[in-house]
Structure 1
Amino acid sequence: METVLITGGTGLVGTYLSNKLLKRGYSVSFLSRAIHETPSIKTFVWNYQKQTIDIEALNNIDYIIHLAGANIGERRWTNSRKQLILDSRLKTGQLIFDKVNEHNIKLKAFISASATGYYGTITTDKIFMETNMPANDFLGNVCNEWEKISDKFGENGIRNVKIRTGVVLSGKGGALSKIIRPVKLGLGSAIGTGRQFMPWIHIDDLCEIYVKAIEDKQMEGAYNAVSPDHKTNEDFTKILASILNKPYWLPKVPPIVMKLAFGEMSDLLLKGSRVSAEKILKTGFEFRFTDLRSALSNLI
Structure 2
Amino acid sequence: MRKILITGATGLIGQEIVKVCHDQNFDVHYLTTSKKKLSTQENYKGFYWNPSNNEIDERCFEGVEAIINLVGAAISKRWTDSYKKEIISSRTQTARLLKTTIDAHGFPIKHIVSASAIGIYPDSLINYYEEDEKEKSSSFLGEVVDQWEAAVDEFSSLNMKVTKIRIGLVLSKKGGALPEIAKPVRFGAGAAFGNGEQWQSWIHLEDLARLFVFTVTNNLEGVYNGVSPNPVSNTELTKAVAKVLHKPLVLPNIPKFAMKLVLGEMHILLFESQRVSASKIEDAGFLFEYHHLEPALLEIFS
- Give the shorter-chain TM-score range: over 0.9
Q: Distance in 1 between the 2:206 and 2:51 partners?
A: 29
Q: CA deviation at 1:271?
A: 1.8
Q: CA deviation at 1:136?
A: 2.4
Aligned-residue Cα RMSD (Å) equals 1.1
| Change in 2 beyond 3 A, CA 1:118/1:209 | same
Partner SS for 1:274? coil
Deviations 1:44-102 (A, max 9, x none): 111111011011111111111110000101x2111011001000000001100111111
2:30 equivalent in structure 1: 30
Deviations 1:226-263 (A, max 9, x none): 01112011000001101111011231011111000001
2:229 equivalent in structure 1: 228
Q: Distance in 1 between the 2:204 and 2:107 partners?
A: 33
1:48 equivalent in structure 2: 51
Alignment of 1:1-300 (within 5 A): 1-35=1-35, 36-38=37-39, 39=41, 40-73=43-76, 75-120=77-122, 122-133=123-134, 134-217=136-219, 219-300=220-301
Q: CA deviation at 1:110?
A: 0.5
Partner SS for 1:251? coil
CA contact 2:51–2:93 (8 Å) conserved in 1: yes
TM-score, normalised to structure 2, is 0.96
Q: Distance in 2 between the 1:37 and 1:273 partners?
A: 38
TM-score, normalised to structure 1, is 0.96
Letter in 2 for 1:175: A
Q: Distance in 1 between the 2:125 and 2:274 partners?
A: 6
Deviations 1:170-197 (A, max 9, x none): 1211111111100111111101111111
CA contact 2:32–2:38 (8 Å) conserved in 1: no
Letter in 1 for 2:60: A
Q: CA deviation at 1:37?
A: 4.9
Aligned residues: 297
Partner SS for 1:112? strand
Q: Distance in 1 between the 2:38 and 2:57 partners?
A: 17
* 261-270 or 35-44, larger mean C-alpha shift: 35-44
Q: CA deviation at 1:155?
A: 3.0
Q: Distance in 1 between the 2:217 and 2:132 partners?
A: 23
Query: Tell me, which stretches of 5 or more residues in structure 1 are unaligned?
Result: none
Partner SS for 1:160? strand
Q: Distance in 2 between the 1:71 and 1:46 partners?
A: 18
Letter in 2 for 1:296: L
Q: Distance in 2 between the 1:154 and 1:209 partners?
A: 21
Q: Distance in 2 between the 1:142 and 1:254 partners?
A: 26
Letter in 2 for 1:3: K
Q: CA deviation at 1:118?
A: 1.2
Query: Tell me, which stretches of 5 or more residues in structure 2 are unaligned?
Result: none
Deviations 1:123-158 (A, max 9, x none): 330011111122222111111111112211123321
**Residue identity (%):** 38
